[in-house]
Structure formats: structure tokens, C-alpha cells
């Protein structure tokens, strides 16, 4: 396995995702002789995992079962150990498209944080592109390097431990795109411009507060960036439910006993989806929004250097 290439079977040293069901999963590093505890019992790596196909059902000691999944940047994002606040796949998707990333792209990123976006960027620019990521926190930079090594993508990424606002990205005139997720992005716009290729490129800055966005936009304008555009993307997830609503008793049933009032009005075209039960209820499928949803992650400001 690798985060940039699908493998068929689970091998020693792989990072795999254990799927327990209903959004509950966790990553596991596959090692000979190791065991992993789950609420369904023990998984023995040597016998239960290694050599099995990704996507297999694995029966645990207590008779419960889990699925073992091939790692992807998206699954990693949902399961990675947080060292910072992270970017989620909804924002990552629009960032990737708006920065026009593709195989071969050279990208600069700061800060690395927990590496959620980094994995997605690497996946997209592989096998010929490269990610230069800058993290001013030494421990986090170290940890990120270690993860990239474990995930088989170290050849596609360079982690630099310095302050991007003061020292820039450590490269110049080579990037197709720059991404900033730092508290004061306006201080790094100049460095971003010099990191981008002479013939131009795209930039994105992620900020939770509108005041940060304003200062960033002014800085972008000052440095001659064009096509400055700020947007926000929100994800709505729907739960699929079968709902049954009761038919109110308006006393009509007493008048015609043969069939209930509702049923007789449209018996055929409602089909099985809207089966009218004897008790006087109507059933239908609905996409019910989650009771609580993420209302704001951050504003995304995009611009072009040309």
C-alpha cells in the first residue's frame, strides 16, 4: 500500500483503516506479531491481516467483525492524530480544484499542522509533482516527516522547519500553487509570490476570521495578485430515514367505512414507498439533515499571479 498507489493485499508495515461500522474507524499500523484491541475483540495482525485483501471482513476474537480498508487521504483525514486544528475533505476538495492541482504540480504549503491537507496534496500531485511544506513548530515538523515516511510518500514531500512569515518557503520560482493556513497570512504573501513560478500560479489562504481575510486581500492586491475571490463552502450531510406520519382522524372514516379517506384519493401512484397502512399512517423516505452541522470552518481566498 501507499497513499498514492492502491495495493491489493495487506502487507507488513502498511497503514490500514479498521472500520467498525457507522462512522467509527481508526488507523492501524500493520506489524507481524502485533495485536489490536477493538470492542469486538482482538485482531492478530500476522494471521488476521497480513496477506488478506483490502476490503475484507475480518472476524475478531469475540465473534464480531470489522472491515479493513485501504488508506486514502480522505480516510486519513477522518482518523489522523490531531496535533492542530485540521482541514477536512470538503474544504480540501475545493482548494485542490481552485488551485488547479494535478499530477506534476509543485505546491508550497504552510503550516503543515497535522498533515491532513498535505496527504491530499501529495496524492494529487504524484507521481511527478512535489510538495514543499513549511512548519515553524519543530515537533510537528518532525512528526509530519515521520508520517510521510511511514506512508510511503516521503519522496514527494520536503518538510522545512522555519517561520514562513520571516523566511519564506525556502524555494523560489518553482511553485504552481501556494496554500497558506497560518494566523497572519498577509505577512507571507510576499514570500508566496516569490515561491510561485515566474509565469504565474495560484494562491489560496484559509482564515477563520473576516478581519484576517480583509488584510490578506489588501496584501494580495498590493503584491499584484489578480482574480481575488473569497468563498466559503459548507457540507450538509443527510441521514436516510423512513418516516411515517399519522393521518389525522377528521371523522371522515365514519362516513365511508370501506376505505380510509387518504387511501382512496391516490392509491395507485403512491406505490410501495408511500404504503398506507391500516392504522392510518403514511410512510416515505426522507433525507433528514443532521441535527447539528458545521456552520463555519474558514474563508478561502483565492488569487492568481500572472
Binding-site sequence positions: 114-117, 135, 163, 181
Residue closer to another protein by CB (options 199, 255) is 199
| Contact between 218 and another protein per CB under 8 A | yes
| Contact between 238 and another protein per CB under 8 A | yes
Cell of 176: 504552481
Residue 23, classed as helix, strand or coil, is coil
Contact 50, 14 (CB under 8 A): no
Stretch that binds another protein, among 41-49, 95-103, 174-182, 256-264 (CB under 8 A): 95-103
Cα distances (Å, whole numbers) of residue 206 to 32, 79, 104, 171, 182 = 41, 22, 23, 21, 8
Q: Which parts are annotated binding residues for S-adenosyl-L-methionine?
A: 114-117, 135, 163, 181
Q: Write each residue from 140 to 179 as x if it is in contact with another protein (CB under 8 A), else as -, in one continuous string.
A: ----------------------------------------
| Contact between 208 and another protein per CB under 8 A | no
Contact 195, 168 (CB under 8 A): yes
| Contact between 96 and another protein per CB under 8 A | yes
| Contact between 89 and another protein per CB under 8 A | yes
In angstroms, give the least distance from the CB of 240 to another protein: 5
Q: What are phi and psi of 23, to 5 degrees?
A: 65, 5
Taking CB under 8 A as the criterion, the residue among 29, 51, 62, 104 binding another protein is: 104
Contact 124, 103 (CB under 8 A): yes
C-alpha to C-alpha distance for 254 and 122, rounded to whole angstroms? 69
Taking CB under 8 A as the criterion, the residue among 5, 142, 222, 256 binding another protein is: 5
| Contact between 304 and another protein per CB under 8 A | yes
Site size with another protein, rule: CB under 8 A: 67
Minimal CA–CA distance to 39: which of 16, 58, 55, 20?
A: 20
Q: Which residues contact 241 (CB under 8 A, 6 or more apart)?
A: 285, 286, 287, 288
> For residue 53, what is the DSSP state?
B
Stretch that binds another protein, among 39-47, 100-108, 168-176, 256-264 (CB under 8 A): 100-108
Cis peptide upstream of residue 270 (ω within 30 degrees of 0): no
Contact 44, 30 (CB under 8 A): no
Residues forming contacts to another protein in the complex (CB under 8 A) are: 4-6, 8, 19, 21, 23, 53-57, 67-70, 72-74, 89-90, 92-94, 96-98, 100, 102-104, 120, 123-124, 126-128, 199-200, 210, 213-214, 217-218, 224, 226-240, 285-287, 299, 301, 304, 306
Amino acid at each position: 500500500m501507499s497513499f498514492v498507489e492502491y495495493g491489493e493485499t495487506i502487507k507488513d508495515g502498511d497503514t490500514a483503516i479498521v472500520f467498525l461500522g457507522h462512522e467509527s474507524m481508526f488507523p492501524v499500523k500493520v506489524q507481524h506479531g502485533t495485536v489490536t484491541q477493538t470492542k469486538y475483540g482482538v485482531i492478530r495482525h500476522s494471521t488476521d491481516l497480513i496477506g488478506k485483501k483490502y476490503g475484507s471482513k475480518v472476524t475478531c476474537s469475540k465473534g464480531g467483525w470489522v472491515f479493513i480498508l485501504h488508506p486514502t487521504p480522505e480516510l486519513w483525514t477522518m482518523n489522523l492524530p490531531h496535533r492542530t486544528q485540521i482541514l477536512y475533505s470538503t474544504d480540501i476538495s475545493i482548494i485542490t480544484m481552485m488551485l488547479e492541482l494535478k499530477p506534476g504540480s509543485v505546491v508550497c504549503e504552510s503550516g503543515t499542522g497535522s498533515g491532513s491537507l498535505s496527504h491530499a496534496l501529495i496524492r494529487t500531485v504524484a507521481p511527478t509533482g512535489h510538495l514543499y511544506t513549511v512548519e515553524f513548530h519543530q515537533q510537528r515538523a518532525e512528526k509530519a516527516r515521520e508520517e510521510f515516511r511511514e506512508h510511503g510518500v516521503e519522496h514527494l514531500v520536503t518538510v522545512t522547519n522555519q517561520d514562513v512569515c520571516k523566511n519564506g518557503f525556502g524555494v523560489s520560482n518553482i511553485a504552481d500553487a501556494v496554500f497558506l493556513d497560518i494566523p497572519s497570512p498577509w505577512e507571507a504573501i510576499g514570500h508566496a509570490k516569490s515561491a510561485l513560478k515566474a509565469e504565474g500560479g495560484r494562491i489560496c489562504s484559509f482564515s477563520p476570521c473576516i478581519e484576517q481575510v480583509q488584510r490578506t486581500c489588501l496584501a494580495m492586491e498590493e503584491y499584484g495578485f489578480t482574480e481575488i475571490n473569497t468563498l466559503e463552502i459548507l457540507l450538509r450531510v443527510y441521514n436516510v430515514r423512513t418516516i411515517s406520519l399519522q393521518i389525522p382522524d377528521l371523522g371522515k372514516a365514519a362516513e365511508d367505512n370501506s376505505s380510509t379517506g387518504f387511501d382512496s384519493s391516490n392509491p395507485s401512484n403512491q406505490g410501495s414507498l408511500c404504503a398506507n397502512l391500516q392504522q392510518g399512517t403514511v410512510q416515505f423516505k426522507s433525507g433528514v439533515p443532521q441535527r447539528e452541522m458545521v456552520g463555519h470552518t474558514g474563508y478561502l481566498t483565492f488569487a492568481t499571479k500572472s
